[in-house]
Amino acid sequence: MLVQFLILVLGLILLIKGADWMVNGASSLARKYNVSDLAIGLTIVAFGTSAPELVVNLYAAIQNHHDLVFGNVIGSNNINLFVILGIAGLITPMVVQSSTVWKEIPFSLLAAVLLFVLANNFSGNGVGSISRIDGLVLLALFAGFLFYVYKQLKNDAPTPSEAVQTMPPLKIWGLILVGMAGLVLGGRMVVTNAVTIASAIGISEKIVGLTIVALGTSLPELATSVVAALKKNNDIAVGNIIGSNIFNIFLILGTSALVKPISFNPIFNTDIYLLIGGTLLLFIAMFTGQKKKMDRWEAGLMLVIYLGYTAYLVGMEI
């Protein structure tokens, strides 16, 4: 048991470092071609911080650990929303742009609602699953989101300093390739040992996916948003969370379903309700008190809600 736990931790470390190396290499490559820091943050960095979830889910889908697939995506999104944004909001009140309030947050709400509708198969025979067709729908919406980002940023030119701060080509590609290798190896180690530990101690894959794996794969988002909050860069702190939640549902779940259709356990509906409710709460927070701002008490409330819900989940499992 101890050996499996240590390998699981090592796998999480490889996932986090692999994402970090890949993001650094890809960011330098983007700067080499004069792409702005803002564009890098909303695309490459958002993908990089979601890469651990993608790798874990692909392995889990191939190995038919469907509860781990949904647990990782839904759990990561709830941790992003309630825990990471809650901690960032406690560090400094989150003041965001109008586009985040009226476009990005509603887009993430659409993703959560669509996940609920597709997973429960209300339009079909009532058997819950995400089919390959559903996966294509999710990926099409992801492409639409990327087009929206492109339209928003096409006139956002990089500063001269951004254009010249690049690494040598060999180092750039070395970081990208080593980062990808770390993601692949780390993802395999996490899935295999998480399932082994769950079986050994009698905890369901759902709980492991929603807690241990989801928290581990969300560490890149945590690091990014906390550092951004400390530097009072609210756009990156909030944008990273909202962007990652959109990536997780549209790109990661869509890709996983395209690889192999995923059976849905209705027990996850409660967790989706939490995600939808939390996204609505974030939207409402933009209009209470000072507009377009999440105050510290609202951030604290998000954190308390998640801690209470997690205690409830563990209590139900025991």
Q: Which CATH number fits domain 2-317: 3.10.20.30, 3.30.1330.10, 3.40.50.11810, 1.20.1420.30?
A: 1.20.1420.30
pLDDT of 5 strictly over 80: yes
What's the farthest any 2 CA atoms get from each other in the chain? 57
Read off the pLDDT of each residue in 32-60 and give the average, rounded to a whole number: 72
Which pLDDT tens digit goes with each residue over 138-160?
999 999 988 887 777 665 555 44
pLDDT of 104 strictly over 90: no
Q: 98 or 308: whose pLDDT is higher?
A: 308
- Model confidence at 112, in pLDDT bands (50, 70, 90)? very high
For residue 231, what pLDDT is reported?
74
Spatial distance between the Cα atoms of 278 and 305, rounded to a whole number of angstroms: 9
Which pLDDT tens digit goes with each residue over 185-223?
887 787 778 778 877 877 777 787 777 777 777 777 777
For residue 203, what pLDDT is reported?
76
pLDDT of 91 strictly over 80: yes
- Model confidence at 257, in pLDDT bands (50, 70, 90)? very high
- Model confidence at 89, in pLDDT bands (50, 70, 90)? confident
Q: Which two tokens stand for residue 157?
A: 């030119």
Mean pLDDT (the chain) is 80
Other beta carbons within 10 Å of 138: 25
Three-state SS for 18-64 is HHHHHHHHHHHHHHHCCCCHHHHHHHHHHHHHHHHHHHHHHHHHHCC
For residue 221, what pLDDT is reported?
73
DSSP code per residue over 200-219:
HHT--HHHHIIIIIHHHHTH
Task: Please name the helix (run of DSSP H) or strand (run of DSSP E) that holds residue 114, with its range, or none.
Answer: helix 105-120
For residue 157, what pLDDT is reported?
52
CA proximity to 287, closest of 152, 105, 108: 105
- Model confidence at 274, in pLDDT bands (50, 70, 90)? very high
Measured CA to CA in angstroms, residue 53 lies from 68, 210, 217 at distances of 11, 12, 6
For residue 45, what pLDDT is reported?
67
* Range in 44-48, 122-126, 178-182, 307-311 the model is least confident about: 122-126
For residue 159, what pLDDT is reported?
45
pTM: 0.79
How many Å from the N-terminal Cα to the C-terminal Cα in the chain?
Answer: 19
* Range in 99-108, 132-141, 231-240, 292-301 the model is least confident about: 231-240
Other beta carbons within 10 Å of 7: 17
For residue 192, what pLDDT is reported?
76
Distance of alpha carbon 57 from its chain centroid, rounded? 12
For residue 20, what pLDDT is reported?
76
Task: Please name the helix (run of DSSP H) or strand (run of DSSP E) that holds residue 265, with its range, or none.
Answer: none
pLDDT of 168 strictly over 90: no
* Range in 69-78, 210-219, 262-271 the model is least confident about: 210-219
pLDDT of 41 strictly over 80: no
Spatial distance between the Cα atoms of 142 and 35, rounded to a whole number of angstroms: 21
pLDDT of 237 strictly over 80: no
For residue 184, what pLDDT is reported?
73
Q: 10 or 153: whose pLDDT is higher?
A: 10
Give the start-to-end residue ranges of the domains of the chain.
2-317
Spatial distance between the Cα atoms of 224 and 245, rounded to a whole number of angstroms: 14
- Model confidence at 67, in pLDDT bands (50, 70, 90)? confident
Spatial distance between the Cα atoms of 159 and 16, rounded to a whole number of angstroms: 29
For residue 115, what pLDDT is reported?
94
